[in-house]
Amino acid sequence: MKIGLGQINAVVGDLAGNVSRMVDCYNRAVEADVDLLIFPELATCGYPPEDLLSKKEFVEDNRASVEKLAADCPETRIIAGFPESYKGSLYNSAAVLEAGKIKEVYRKRLLAHYSVSDERKYFKAGSKPVLIEVGGLKIALTICYDILEIARLKEFLKEVGPFEVLVNISASAFHLGKTEARKKSIINCVKEFNSTVAYCNLVGGQDELVFDGRSILADSSGKIAATAAAFREDLLIADIISTEDGVKVKPVDSAREEPSGPVDEVYQALVLGVRDYVRKNGFEKVLLGLSGGIDSSVSVCIAAAGLGARKVIGITMPSRFNSSETIADANQLAENLGIEFLTIPIDDILEASDNSLAVFEGWDKESIAFENLQARIRGNILMSLSNSMGGLVLTSGNKSESAVGYATLYGDTAGGFSPLKDVPKTLVYKLAEHINAKSGSQLIPESVIRRAPSAELSFNQKDTDSLPDYSLLDRILQGYVEENKSAKELIAEGIDAEVVRKVIRMVDANEYKRRQSPPGVKITPRALGRDRRLPITNRYY
């Protein structure tokens, strides 16, 4: 039996487009004599559709889409995810399509409800296992989370008896360490059921999530037999053969190239996340402020990699506080990338603003307010250019800054998308090295990487004037934000108590800034934002 995993890049809400993507895939699958073609979870509508699910018409349109898919693709068996209204409740379902019709439906049993997933808000859990037969093989159906608790899955599937293939359709978003967890679940299934596993994952960026694809075919021997491409669409085809030694997977194509390591994974996730946000939202170009600092340098390289240099415009907005070195670095980087580059000095606007604000007697040129003013003038310039040319502004803030509020609201946080939003500062440096290594040149000037970080909003300013060293800061943030550790636990690990408390206090106090920040790609197990929902008004610390 020939199986195909149709790892498509669905766009949320684009029902017709998603069906057409699946039909394209089907045509290639038919040419390759595929008997069973599998698409991801909620493939008709993309993932996560959120409150679109509360629209009755949307749910009806999804059924119509899956019926159209069936009608357009009569020549193979197909499994595809769709949201389904059934007996007055909504389910996260997998349709089995055969000969132009919906032949059977499996409804997800274990709903994902953690982190960014709110499935229990929308769906009812299914309760009936589904077994189908294709090419003489028995095939059990599951959806994403269903395979997570192996003991409960075994209990659930008991009534269908033995099977040769466990299908799992999924929409599993990328974060560091996710693939290992995923593979482990799949190997658990293989061992438990002595079957193959055909795991078909979604690919593509959707707001803050990037689905990484990497669909998997696992052998009953306990090995991953084939993996689809990472961070791009793919159709993975293999023969599934039942032998006396168990069920074997024989891939038809050669193996896909895998990311070279965690930093490359993050890099590819960011490139795809930016590309898809820009493309799916219909922007023709992006613009970024280039300061000659590490964050904007890495951000612009990611944008250029995702969109091509011709779609990226760099703007440098120097004031008297910017050194000639950083200005030169911004210029050099733009030249290295071959992007359009504009210089708009802010001194005249700063002076006019300063004069006008002097009406207020508390106004002080040596204050943080005066620093923030500069960042907001820059934000205003970028947004004015964005409104003029229809381009999307990318912001350059990283996770470490965002966590402690080391950013100016409506200043450097102003923009539509934030590539480094979930990237700790120490990882930004690793990305810079990775980008240069990948390009085989000093794409990002060495001085950008070596210089001590500074916001350049006053003379001789350094980030370390206000913050602990980034390696220490990131260690505390990883503990507090990602691992949900308490101050007590972090201090017990040997970190200075005063620094721990200061950092935690900064994180807690700056929730209001993060609430108004643009979306950006999640790459860690726990991003700031929807992934970590804290009240703004909060006296617990």
Point out the residues that are catalytic: 41, 108, 144
Tell me if 536 contacts its own copies by CB under 8 A. Answer: yes
Window 275 to 294, contacts with its own copies (CB under 8 A): 276-277, 280-281
Question: 408 Cβ partners below 8 Å, 6+ apart?
Answer: 371, 372, 375, 376, 379
Phi/psi at 322 (5° precision): -90, 135
Residue with tokens 């050099």, as numbered in its chain:
332
- Residue 427 CB, nearest approach to its own copies (Å): 23
Query: Which residues, numbered 224-253, are part of the site for its own copies (CB under 8 A)?
Result: none
User: Could you give the 3-state DSSP secondary structure of residue 197?
Assistant: strand
Separation between Cα atoms, residue 29 and residue 78, nearest integer Å: 11
Nearer to its own copies, 8 or 216 (CB): 8
Q: Decide if residue 461 touches its own copies (CB under 8 A).
A: no
C-alpha–C-alpha distance, residues 321 and 319, integer Å: 5
Q: Decide if residue 89 touches its own copies (CB under 8 A).
A: no
Q: Is 390 left (phi over 0), alpha (psi -120 to 50) or beta?
A: left
Question: Considering CB under 8 A, how many residues would be counted as binding its own copies?
Answer: 88
Chain residues 155-184 in contact with its own copies, contact rule CB under 8 A: none
Closest CB to its own copies among residues 31, 57: 57
Does the footprint of its own copies cover residue 535 (CB under 8 A)? yes
The single residue among 131, 160, 187, 344 that binds its own copies, judged by CB under 8 A, is 344
Rule CB under 8 A: is residue 27 a binding residue for its own copies?
no
Which residue number, 36 or 210, has a Cβ lying nearer to its own copies?
Answer: 210
Looking at the Cβ atoms of 11 and 147, the one nearer to its own copies is: 11
> For residues 487-506, which are near its own copies according to CB under 8 A?
488
Minimum separation from the CB atom of position 271 to its own copies (A) = 17
- Scan residues 393-422 and list those touching its own copies (CB under 8 A): 409-410, 414, 416
Tell me: does residue 311 bind its own copies (CB under 8 A): no
Residue 3: how many CB atoms within 10 A of its CB? 29
Say if residues 63 and 55 touch (Cβ distance below 8 Å). no
The yes or no reply on residue 369 touching its own copies (CB under 8 A) is yes
Near its own copies in 99-138, by CB under 8 A: 113-114, 118, 120-121
Interface with its own copies (CB under 8 A), residue from 64, 71, 181, 389: 389
Q: Does 539 sit near its own copies (CB under 8 A)?
A: yes
Among 224, 252, 309, 383, binds its own copies (CB under 8 A): 383
Classify residue 171 by burial, with Cβ atoms within 10 Å: 0-12, 13-18, 19+. buried
Max Cα–Cα distance, the chain, nearest Å: 88
Phi-psi region of 335 (alpha: psi -120 to 50; beta: other; left: phi over 0): alpha
With CB under 8 A as the contact rule, which of the stretches 47-55, 80-88, 154-162, 173-181 interacts with its own copies?
47-55
Does residue 357 touch its own copies according to CB under 8 A?
Answer: yes
55 vs 101, beta carbon nearer its own copies? 55
Give the three-class secondary structure for 532: strand
DSSP state of 481: I
Q: Which two tokens stand for residue 37?
A: 């073609």
Inter-CA distances, 337 with 297, 298, 318, 456, Å: 10, 12, 20, 24
